[in-house]
């Protein structure tokens, strides 16, 4: 119970109608590992599912490197009504073809798919990136077979920029600039 209370007391960086996003902590390891073990959730990740130890290593990397060096990264995504940890969404720094990029990333537990929550999170993350961090461009890196992620990228105002080979994997690069915040909503 103490872990739940500690997580609930962490301040949210971003809140939407149904979601609260906050920094991940090591207390999130069990919940994140459960999501990362699901082969459907990890279907479009080249490394597939992750073990508990691999999830722990990724979580430590997010906390130490992303938060420590960039001030942002992936965030615990919780359902405001239940306070349940439902995934991790956020901003990921990349260097692609020698250019610094920041990706809007979203991953939710399977039971939360099809409810517009990934789009809700991604829209809020996009706004945070442009308004709070004053970024000039954001991208999404998507496996060409992942139609659901393509739909989210399009709904938040991104357009297909190009097909690329990133870390040896075919990848669709969607991108947008701050003007997408003023574009009409494309559904949710």
pLDDT of residue 178: 86
Radius of gyration in angstroms for the set of CA atoms belonging to the chain, rounded to a whole number: 16
CATH superfamily of 2-181: Gcn5-related N-acetyltransferase (GNAT) (3.40.630.30)
- As a whole number of angstroms, the distance between CA 98 and CA 89 comes to 25
Q: Indicate whether this model's pTM tops 0.85.
A: yes
Closest CA to 140 of 168, 112, 110, 106: 106
In the β-sheet with 99-108, what is the strand arrangement from edge to edge?
Answer: 14-15, 19-23, 74-79, 85-96, 99-108, 138-142, 169-176, 159-166
- As a whole number of angstroms, the distance between CA 156 and CA 116 comes to 11
19 touches 80 (CB < 8 A): yes
By the 10 Å C-beta count (0-12 exposed, 13-18 middle, 19+ buried), 11 is classed as: exposed
- As a whole number of angstroms, the distance between CA 133 and CA 93 comes to 13
For residue range 61-98, list pLDDT tens digits in order. 999 999 999 999 999 999 999 999 999 999 999 999 89
For residue range 10-57, list pLDDT tens digits in order. 578 999 999 999 999 999 999 999 999 999 999 999 899 999 999 999
Q: What are phi and psi of 74, to 5 degrees?
A: -85, 140
**Which residue shows structure tokens 């991108």?**
175
What are the structural domain ranges in the chain? 2-181
Percent over 90 (pLDDT), the chain: 84
């Amino acid at each position: 119970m103490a872990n739940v209370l500690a997580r609930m007391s962490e301040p949210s960086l971003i809140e939407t109608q149904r979601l609260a996003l906050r920094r991940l902590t090591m207390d999130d390891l069990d919940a994140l590992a459960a999501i990362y073990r699901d082969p459907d959730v990890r279907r479009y990740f080249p490394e597939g599912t992750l073990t508990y130890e691999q999830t722990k290593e990724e979580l430590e990397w997010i906390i130490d490197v992303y938060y420590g060096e960039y001030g942002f990264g992936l965030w615990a995504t919780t359902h405001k009504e239940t306070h349940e940890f439902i995934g991790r969404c956020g901003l990921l720094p990349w260097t692609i073809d020698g250019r610094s990029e920041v990706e809007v990333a979203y991953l939710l537990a399977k039971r939360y798919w099809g409810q517009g929550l990934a789009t809700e999170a991604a829209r809020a993350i996009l706004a945070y990136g442009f308004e709070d961090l004053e970024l000039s461009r954001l991208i999404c890196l998507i496996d060409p077979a992942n139609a659901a992620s393509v739909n989210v990228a399009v709904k938040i105002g991104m357009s297909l920029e190009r097909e690329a080979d990133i870390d040896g994997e075919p990848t669709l690069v969607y991108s947008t600039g701050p003007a997408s915040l003023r574009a009409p909503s494309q559904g949710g």
